[in-house]
Amino acid sequence: MTPFTFTRAADAFDAVQRAGQPEARYLGGGTNLVDLMRETIERPQALVDVTGLSRAIEERPDGSLLIGAAAKNTAVAEHRAVRERFPLLSRAILAGASAQVRNMATVGGNVLQRTRCTYFYDDDGARCNKRKPGQGCDAVDGFNRNHAILGASDACVATHPSDMCVALAALDAVVHLQGAQGTRTLRLTDLHRLPEDRPELDTVLAPGELITAIELPALPFARHAAYRKVRDRSSYAFALVSVAAAVDVEDGVVRDLRLALGGVAHKPWRAWIAESMLKSQPATADNLRAAARAELAAARPLSDNAFKIALAERTLVAVLEGLTGGQP
């Protein structure tokens, strides 16, 4: 590890002040950043510990939920209001990592974790545009079974590894930010970037900008939801494909729905196309299949991951059948 200074932030404003120097990083639970520092992929000169900032989970009168960015993943997954009103978020968190990691990891850190592309991690042996801009990408022609099928570029085919963010994308989560110039909010679906020709940039955050909270707007039909994760072993593995869905269905008709995919792109993938095709439509098998196929129509397989396209389509259909009654 490269040497660094370590300080604790008293509050969000203090954190931003402390991080107002080159090569500073915010430290949450450390489950990703400490690992990246040990591999010298991240070389911060200053760490600002933000685990002392708000971890409150606040139920607000309008039915929304405000989750402090320092809340641990376990605390969110086990919270009564999350389990009862936004079970999709509990499910997604519990599908990720291990209990030890969930006990350490913060919500803010989960959102900003970096890809687990093995070429990104291989500092000595592989080329990576995300690690060293302009160097080239060894994943494009390498072992790319786990890589992206949607929204990738010639420069980068990495995926975003979070399960939690797939649920947040589906639930229209809003990210609260503190920067040097003040506060702002951003939809989670607008926070992460597609790689294009700047894969070193995971998000649209300004340097030093800090996530202070995640807001879940009220969504009554969020109680009727499912998170399905397909992976190489049944626990403690990243997703090949995952689907987050919440559906408002009545008499076999989809009145409204929220859909997102994980494991397929550089960001949690909100399935806007499938949503628009199914809204106000009967939940027939044909309609579900057509919507899933349309969402994946733009998918481009790499040498080892063509299976993900069919897998994503089928998982989408299976989840939606489960939530709409599985009509023939």
Q: 184: helix, coil or strand?
A: strand
Q: Least CB distance from residue 30 to another protein, whole Å? A: 6
Nearer to another protein, 38 or 300 (CB): 38
Distances in whole angstroms, Cα of residue 266 to Cα of each of 111, 166, 237, 238: 13, 12, 18, 14
- The residue count of the chain comes to 328
- Whose Cβ is closer to another protein: residue 181's or residue 234's? 234
Extract the tokens encoding 219: 């969504």
Q: Taking the complex as a whole, how short is the minimal distance between the CB of residue 75 and another protein, in angstroms? A: 9
As measured in angstroms, the least distance from the Cβ of 138 to another protein is 20
Q: How is 208-246 classified by DSSP, letter by letter? A: T-EEEEEEE---GGGGSEEEEEE-SSSSSS--SEEEEEE
Nearer to another protein, 194 or 237 (CB): 237
Is the Cα torsion angle 44, 49, 50, 55 positive or negative in sign?
A: positive
Query: Phi, psi (5° rounding) for residue 287?
Result: -65, -40
Q: Closer CB to another protein, residue 64 or residue 103?
A: 103
CB of 229 to another protein, least distance (A): 8
The partner residues of 225 in beta bridges, in order of sequence, read 246
Residues within the interface to another protein (CB under 8 A): 1, 3-6, 27, 29-31, 34-35, 38, 47, 49, 51, 74, 77-78, 83-84, 87, 90-91, 94-95, 97-101, 103-104, 234-236
- C-beta of 80: minimal distance to another protein in Å? 8
| Nearest to another protein of 7, 281 (CB atom) | 7
Distance from C-alpha of 5 to C-alpha of 253, rounded to nearest angstrom: 57
